[in-house]
Amino acid sequence: MIFFGVLVGIVLIVLDSKFDFLGKKSSKSGEYNGPVSGDKEKMYITTATYSETKYDFGKVTEGDTIKHVIKLQNTGKDPLFIFKAKGSCECVRVLFNSETIAPGESQDITVAFLTKGRKGKQLRTAMIDTNTDPAEMVITLTGEVE
pLDDT tens across 64-74, in order? 999 999 999 99
d(CA 139, CA 111): 9
Q: What pLDDT sits at residue 17?
A: 64
Domain 48-145: which CATH number of 1.10.150.130, 2.60.40.10, 2.30.29.30, 3.40.50.80: 2.60.40.10
| Parallel, antiparallel or unpaired: strands 136-145 and 54-60 | parallel
d(CA 125, CA 53): 10
d(CA 124, CA 135): 20
pLDDT at position 50 over 70: yes
13 by DSSP, 3-state: which? helix
Would you say the pTM of this structure is higher than 0.85?
A: no
**104 in Cβ contact with 119 (< 8 Å):** no
pLDDT digits (tens, 9 = 90+) for 123-135: 999 999 999 888 8
**69 in Cβ contact with 139 (< 8 Å):** no
Q: What pLDDT sits at residue 10?
A: 79
pLDDT digits (tens, 9 = 90+) for 88-145: 999 999 999 888 899 999 999 999 999 999 999 999 999 999 998 888 999 999 999 9
Q: What pLDDT sits at residue 44?
A: 78
Which of 127, 106, 128, 130 minimizes the C-alpha distance to 36? 130
Listing DSSP states for 24-83 in one string gives -PPPTTSEEESSSEEETT----B-EEES-SEEEEEEE-TT-EEEEEEEEEE-SSS-B-EE
pLDDT digits (tens, 9 = 90+) for 10-48: 777 777 666 665 555 544 555 545 445 556 566 778 899
